[in-house]
Amino acid sequence: MKELILAANWKMHKTNQETREYLRKFKAMQEEFNSTEVVFCPPFTSLRTADEELYSTFFKLGAQNMVWESEGAYTGEISPLMLKDLGVRYVIIGHSERRWILGETHEQINKKLQAVFEYNLIPIYCVGETEEVRQAGETESMILKQIEEGFQGIDFSGVKNIVIAYEPVWAIGTGLTASGEDARHASACIKEKMDNYINGDVTRLKILYGGSVKKENIGEFVSEAGIHGALVGGASLQVDSFVGIIRAAQEALRK
């Protein structure tokens, strides 16, 4: 059975208290999920609490962003060193909300990806087309461009783990989802491009789908050979709903 990764992107939700309550409830069911790579990405302010709760479980901690320097004059930013100090293993980079709402540039994304590898963290690098680009039939070229720009100049020789999330912008938080077939095409196109960087060693690459994932549709995505799991936003905010997604994904893989 292929390795399944389910990452919860909590975005700007949950206080420390809410984080603790959620993770305690989730941990009570941990035996059921120990064959799945479950990653929680709370806001920075809850990382410490989440690390305390996840300590000695199989579950991993992720951050939603970081800057590329270990320290310095970057008011309001968080460094890879600080994240590692909090037990963080994964970092979401280039999420469309950062690209399109907060104006993150591809130069910044490229520096962040370089730093992620330098600090032995695992990126969850988000790529995906806008509605306009989709309508123009240019999805593939946009994904390829985001990969080229993101990974420009990076030396992959020591890189063991790369996670890329295909997240069509029009599907995020909208209730609309891509089809399994769309995800399969995007995955094939990502894989072909990444082959050049990782010399065909695809065991180092995992591809997720993201965009309005819920328990009713996760099966369609993880049944695709090239999709290893999902990055889940809204539907990861309630324990029952996230647990439903993990169960449905595991069930789809058993079929």
The residue type at 100: W
Q: Does 212 interact with ligand PGA (rule: CB under 6 A)?
A: yes
Closest CB 165 distance from ligand PGA, rounded Å? 7
**Is the CB of 167 or the CB of 197 nearer to ligand PGA?**
167
- CA-CA distance, 233 to 84, in Å (whole number)? 23
Near ligand PGA by CB under 6 A, which window of 64-72, 135-143, 185-193, 211-219? 211-219
Q: Does 211 interact with ligand PGA (rule: CB under 6 A)?
A: yes
Residue of minimal Cβ distance to ligand PGA: 233
Reply yes or no on whether 167 is catalytic.
yes
- CA-CA distance, 250 to 12, in Å (whole number)? 28
Q: Nearest-CA neighbor of 169 among 96, 223, 64?
A: 96
CA dihedral 211, 213, 218, 221 (to 10 degrees): 0
Q: Name residues contacting ligand PGA, limited to 23-62 (CB under 6 A).
A: none
Q: Which of 213, 218, 227, 246: binder of ligand PGA (CB under 6 A)?
A: 213
DSSP H helices, the chain, are: 16-27, 47-54, 80-85, 96, 106-118, 131-135, 139-151, 180-197, 218-222, 239-254
Q: Does 167 interact with ligand PGA (rule: CB under 6 A)?
A: yes
Q: What are phi and psi of 63, to 5 degrees?
A: -110, 165
Reply yes or no on whether 95 is catalytic.
yes
Q: Which of 83, 115, 169, 172: binder of ligand PGA (CB under 6 A)?
A: 172
For residues 210 and 183, is the Cβ–Cβ distance under 8 A?
no
- CA-CA distance, 25 to 181, in Å (whole number)? 35
Near ligand PGA by CB under 6 A, which window of 61-69, 72-80, 112-120, 207-215? 207-215
Question: In sequence order, which residues have a C-beta less than 8 Å from that of residue 136 and are 6 or more positions away?
Answer: none
Q: Name residues contacting ligand PGA, limited to 214-253 (CB under 6 A).
A: 231-235
Closest CB 40 distance from ligand PGA, rounded Å? 13
Report, as residue numbers or ranges, the catalytic residues.
95, 167
Would you tell me which residues interact with ligand PGA (CB under 6 A)? 9, 167, 172-173, 210-213, 231-235
